[in-house]
């Protein structure tokens, strides 16, 4: 292989790489599902400690059979954990001093608070609240 061919191959691979990077940056990233988290959870991190553990509950059923994954609550948990890191969210734990309450239906907040024996602290987004044990 001549030196000229090697230069051409490198140039072609460079162009392919730049096109790929541009596609992901301008086409895929703006529509990525994680983008909504900035707006949805913007007010949550300032309400939590900078580190440590916080409980996490939701209005969706969290109980699972062994080996089963309940996608709705797990997705809400993973999204919230992504936003509040390095704080650790304890899935299904309403006994810690602060608890993040993720709601599919915000009108069910009172039911979740009553069922989990929690006291409302503050709204942290359109479907997210912070509570503490009574």
**pLDDT of res. 24:** 79
State the pTM of this model: 0.70
d(Cα 107, Cα 34) in Å, to the nearest integer?
Answer: 24
**pLDDT of res. 31:** 66
With contact defined as beta carbons under 8 Å apart, do 112 and 103 qualify?
A: yes
Give the tens place of pLDDT for each residue, 9-66: 999 999 999 999 988 778 777 666 656 676 778 899 999 999 999 999 999 887 655 5
Give how far the C-alpha of residue 100 lies from the chain's centroid of Cα atoms, to the nearest Å. Answer: 12
With contact defined as beta carbons under 8 Å apart, do 133 and 88 qualify?
A: no
Provide the token pair at 100. 């993040």
Please choose, from the candidates 134, 77, 83, 122, the residue with its C-alpha nearest in 3D space to the C-alpha of residue 104.
77
**Which residues on neighbouring strands pair with residue 134, listed in sequence order?**
none
Per-domain residue ranges of the chain: 1-31, 34-133
d(Cα 96, Cα 38) in Å, to the nearest integer?
Answer: 25
Given pLDDT bands bounded at 50, 70 and 90, which one contains residue 69?
Answer: low
């Amino acid at each position: 292989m001549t030196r000229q061919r090697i230069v051409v191959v490198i140039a072609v691979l460079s162009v392919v790489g730049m096109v790929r990077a541009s596609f992901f940056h301008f086409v895929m990233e703006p529509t990525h599902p994680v983008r909504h988290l900035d707006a949805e959870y913007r007010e949550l991190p300032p309400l939590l400690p900078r580190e440590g553990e916080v409980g996490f509950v939701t209005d969706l059923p969290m109980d699972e059979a062994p080996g089963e994954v309940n996608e709705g609550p797990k997705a809400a948990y993973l999204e919230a954990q992504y936003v509040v890191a390095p704080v650790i969210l304890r899935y299904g734990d309403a006994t810690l001093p602060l608890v993040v309450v993720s709601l599919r239906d915000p009108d069910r907040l009172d039911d979740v608070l009553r069922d989990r024996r929690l006291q409302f602290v503050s709204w942290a987004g359109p479907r997210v609240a912070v509570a503490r044990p009574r």
